[in-house]
Amino acid sequence: MRAGTRLGRHGGTHMKDWLGRHLLDALIAIWGVVTLVFFVTRILGDPTALLLPVGATQAQMDLFRHQLGLDLPLLQQYGHFLWQVLQGDLGHSFVQMRPAMDVVLERMPATLTLALTAVALGLLFGAIAGTVAALYRGKTLAWMVMLFALLGQATPVFWLGIMLILLFSVQLGWLPTGGYGSWQHLVLPALTLATYVTAGIARLFRSSLLDVLRDDYVRTARSKGLAPQTVFFWHVARNALIPVLTMLGIIVGELLGGSVVIETVFAWPGVGRLIVQAIETQDFPVIQSGVLLVAVVFVSVNMLVDGLYASLDPRIRSPRASEP
């Protein structure tokens, strides 16, 4: 009983240490990203000339620059920016004259819809394709699946998006060429992104399945007379998903940050497209807010994946767990 209590306490301590390390790493990563973006945006130049009407006097430009705080020394601007971030205030958009984070958050539903749909489709079809390629290894069907996966990763997404528009929108007239508002608008951009996601997951899942199928515990499970379905889903697929989770975390983080190319091709009003537009107009608060949100989402998704990773393999959260 006492041994079990000590084990539970040690397990809880290891989990707290693991979580504490990841939270500290996440905060450092987010701070590094927002700091880099702050200084890079200042390299873009002074947005005053873009924001004021043509013919504005020097006095008007100096007053406007003072109102935006752009006349302060760079380090002082940086200190003021960090203080605002800690208070949850990221300033007002230079262009829209309202809270920058509100401008970014308005675009988040569109990005979430596109990203999660593409990931769900990619995970479903990628797992099926990887399973087929592994179980029918050496046969024509497996060869065709892997050829599709290779082409899916090699094909530029913008070219694939344009081809889908030409086929389903221009030639057949089944779907709109772009925009946002209904499920019809979602089909083409989601399929375009899902093709790339499917290809990557299929190749990785196939390799992972083949590695796990060679392990001793799989042969042991089969020798015990377990049903093939039980062996595959409980012993093989579960362990083969571990490396896929890492890849999936990176993909989800990238897509939630906004797929700039796809959002541009299909005129999708997501966060990525907003950041590009803000860069063109040198709207510093919107750029900083957008990148901060993307960094938080990316780090949070990867922390969640690490947690799932640790739940599947306890040795990850406690190196001592693997010791005899």
Query: What pLDDT score was predicted for residue 165?
Result: 92
Q: What is the pTM of this model?
A: 0.74
Model pLDDT, residue 163: 92
Task: Bin 181: left if φ > 0, else alpha if -120 < ψ < 50, else beta.
Answer: left
| 271 closest CA partner among 291, 295, 251, 296 | 291
What is the chain's pLDDT, residue by residue, as a tens digit (324 residues)?
444 555 445 555 666 776 777 788 878 888 888 888 888 877 777 777 667 766 667 787 778 777 777 777 888 888 888 888 888 788 888 888 888 888 999 988 888 889 889 989 988 898 888 888 888 887 888 888 888 888 888 888 888 889 999 999 898 888 888 888 888 889 999 999 898 888 888 888 888 877 776 666 666 666 666 666 666 665 666 677 777 777 777 787 777 765 778 888 888 888 888 888 888 888 888 888 888 888 888 888 777 777 776 665 555 544 444 444
| Spatial separation of the C-alpha atoms in residues 306 and 297, rounded to whole Å | 14
- Domain residue ranges of the chain, discontinuous segments joined by +: 1-324
Considering the four listed CATH numbers 3.30.565.10, 1.10.3720.10, 1.20.1600.10, 3.40.640.10, the one that applies to the domain covering 1-324 is 1.10.3720.10
